[in-house]
Amino acid sequence: MKKKQRKCYLYTRVSTTMQVDGYSLDAQRDKLRKYADYEDMVVAGEYSDEGFSGKNIQGRPEFQRMLNDIQDGKDGVSYVLVFKLSRFGRNAADVLNSLQLMQDFGVNLICVEDGIDSSKDAGKLMISVLSAVAEIERENIRSQTMAGREQKAREGKWNGGFAPYGYKLENGNLVIAEDEVEVIRIIYDRYIHTNEGVAGVAKYLNRNGFVKKLRQNNTIPGFSRNFVQDVLDNPIYMGKIAYGRRRTEKKQGTRNEMHVVEQSEFPVYDGQHEAIISEEDWYLAQEKRKINSFKREKVNNPDHAHILSGILRCPCCGKGMYGNIAKAHGRDKKTRYYYYCKNTITASGHECSFRLNIDQAELNNAVAKIISAMVNKPRFAEAIQAKIGTAVDTAALEQQVEVLQGRLKQTFGTKTRLERQMDTLDIGDPHYDRKISDLQRRYDEQYDIMVEIESQIDELQSQIRSIRQEKISGDNIYRLLLAFDAVYNSATEAERKELMKAFIERIDLYPEKRKDGCWIRSIVFNFPMPVEGGEVKELSLESETTVETVCLLSKLKSTQHIEVELDMDELDLTDAEKKATYQEIKDYVLEHTGLKVSSLYIAQVKQKCGIIERENYNKPKSEDAKQPQCPPDKEKAIKEALKHFGMI
């Protein structure tokens, strides 16, 4: 009876397209086929990874395909043949896990050159030992390469990567780039000798005609605060060479995933390149950086918060308006709080003509009442309930992340191939110095590419998290809106500020206070506000009788809008001091009727008209005290004044 032939897979791998350890892919295949023929095995499939590192299995598509075929029982194989264990993998954990997976499906590993068969107890032990040795060898190669880069830094030479802005590379040496160096000097000069921070310096460069040169590691047009910050923190500009500012480290909680991490401490050596700024200026910049990094403590009333600070937009320049304080003075000794535009004076002169201070309490209460009237509409509450819990789609962004992760794996593979090429380069080669220099340059470039790709991945993942968090936050905000009155009335000013920031993007104001006492032109929300017939993001207050909500929906054409009307009566924006002062009412009555009226009479008429007073003028001083009642002619005159000022 003829013995049934055993089936096997052949797996081959090299780290570079060059021959490694004397055996190319073809040589490995030839050796494995001859072994299979000698052992009377049938080759059911061949898998080959060319130019992939053995440090993990994630970056080897053919290896993963082979494992998937084994799990599927595709060909009913009993063995996987590899030339040497190092071809199977150089990471001990991956080797043993992959082997265990294969054995779970009845497949063993044979390393032809090493004479190892995992179906035997001694073979599995040898695999454990040799895989650990292979991993140590890989780490030694990496350590030797990094040691070479550190030695270059000690010698004051540029140790790899793209030249920093302000410099260019010539024959591997840093040389000042004349078309970039002026920007570097201006950054240090303005940061040290003016009150500007990093954002202020960036704003100065962008506003004064300076153009940023775009190149490999500076692809974003314009000067950002991060660019200025990086320039100020880099000792390269004072003639020093830093080593290890960024290190490739394993991600916590993962087995083989790596990422580039900024280091807080790193060695600095004297460089051979020309400095752009003096050491004294560099250290002065560092001192200011430390001072500016501290969080400033609030020196005024700790219980007070400028609730709408940063949300309000100046009607003149469109920039954010912030809190202003008028310290206690005069008879009442009361500190007053206002909103104002701080963009009135900058380093380049006056930019905004808006000079008014707007009372904070007045504006805070007006916004709160508008929101309260809006969310207390029954149909609004129903629409919010329907909005909560709907799903979000991030598939397109996740696909982009997968593509970038693939590119990152390829870059890691390229870096590993270059490591192997440098390690196996013949020192007797007459062109050794030029070849090793070229390989080192290409090797260093991989780190910059990895940083760029990882930055793009982080940005996309941040967007995905932001979208998901926005959905979660949106649901939470919608729930808060359903109980807005109770939440807002019981919150501290600091909590009210956080609440407003959570669901309001900005509030646009009129350049002047309207006759009806309203400052607010429109309110733009962070989240679409569900209303009957669609979703809106902007409330526009354009008339004295209605609040018109106009929102351009993302799914509609530019000519399509949604309009929602709310009665202004529901907004209760008629506090006495928000419309006209007592003196203004007295002056109006005197001018139009010749009658003199007291504040007491005005308060009585307001009470009759349903206007709530901040101060109770009607309260008698004692139980027996009697207040004079407003005469009919004066009451009529006061009502006419209240109508004129839009209060009734």
Would you name the residues annotated as active-site residues?
15
Which residue carries 């429109």 as its tokens? 522
Note the helical H segments in 155-215: 181-193, 198-207
User: 485-500 burial, b for 16+ CB within 10 Å, e for fewer?
Assistant: eeebeeeeeeebbebb
Half-sphere CA count of 638, side-chain side, radius 13 A: 25
Q: What's the rounded Cα separation, in Å, for the pair 403 and 410?
A: 11
Give the list of residues 6+ apart from residue 446 with CB closer than 8 angstroms, or none.
411, 412, 414, 415, 418
Quote the tokens at residue 167.
């410099």
From 593, 581, 584, select the one nearest 633 (Cα to Cα).
593
Distances (CA, A) of 450 to 33, 188, 254, 607: 38, 29, 18, 72
Q: What's the rounded Cα separation, in Å, for the pair 148 and 166?
A: 25
Q: Is 252 exposed, middle or buried (0-12, 13-18, 19+ CB in 10 A)?
A: exposed
From 594, 595, 612, select the one nearest 603 (Cα to Cα).
612
Distances (CA, A) of 427 to 54, 301, 406: 25, 73, 34
48 touches 63 (CB < 8 A): no
- In degrees, rounded to 5, the angle at the alpha carbon of residue 367 between the alpha carbons of residues 362 and 370 is 125
Q: Does residue 526 sit in helix, strand or coil?
A: strand
Q: What's the rounded Cα separation, in Å, for the pair 450 and 338?
A: 49
Q: What's the rounded Cα separation, in Å, for the pair 96 and 88?
A: 10
Quote the tokens at residue 35.
């072994």
Positive or negative: CA dihedral 412, 418, 419, 420: positive
Q: Does residue 116 sit in helix, strand or coil?
A: strand
